[in-house]
Amino acid sequence: MERQTAEIAGWGSNVYVKIPVTNTRREPAYEPVRRLSASGVKVNVTALTTLPQIRAVAGAVSGGAPSCVSVFAGRIADTGRDPVPIMAEAVEQLKVAPAAELIWASPRELLNVFQADAIGCHIITVANDILNKLPLVGKNLDDYSLDTVRMFYDDATKSGFRL
């Protein structure tokens, strides 16, 4: 992984090399991340989901090159856990690494954009299906309810079913 990372980093000064927090055998990548970051390689450590992982990665990139720490908040939410407390703690843990930016990865809904902003997260990755919901921000809920009723009515009408 380190050999590949060094090669990819040579592609340009704006390249951040994505490194998974562990390999497929659950072996942490903390030491390779520490060596690479200390040598000036910009890394994007990805697939983090736990506070111990975040703490270890923050320590590994502390004092090193600019980096990104990509915490998969959406996957945390998929397990029934609220990602906000974990992400808020991640912001705190990354203070030991001022050149590191926290990424809220794999958001599931537009609300996550506001949650990420509220806790001071630096970056959020947002898919088009979520961005397309931006016009709904602040929409009157009575109007939104009526839009929903009209959608149901139109679907029923299009079915051609009559009682």
pLDDT above 90: residue 1: no
Q: Please check the confidence at residue 161 and state whether its pLDDT lies above 90.
A: no
End-to-end CA distance of the chain: 65
pLDDT in the model for residue 43: 98
pTM of the model: 0.91
The mean pLDDT of 98-122, rounded to a whole number, is: 97
Q: Is 19 helix (H, G, I), strand (E, B) or coil?
A: strand
pLDDT at residue 3 tops 90: no
Query: What residues contact residue 94 under an 8 Å CB cut-off, 6+ apart?
Result: 54, 58, 69, 100, 101, 102
DSSP 37: H
pLDDT at 73: 98
Pairing outcome for strands 123-124 and 67-71: unpaired
What topology is assigned to 2-136 in CATH? TIM Barrel (3.20.20)
Is 86 a residue whose pLDDT tops 90? yes
Using CA atoms, how far apart are residues 76 and 90, in angstroms rounded to an integer?
13
Residue 59 has pLDDT above 90, yes or no: yes
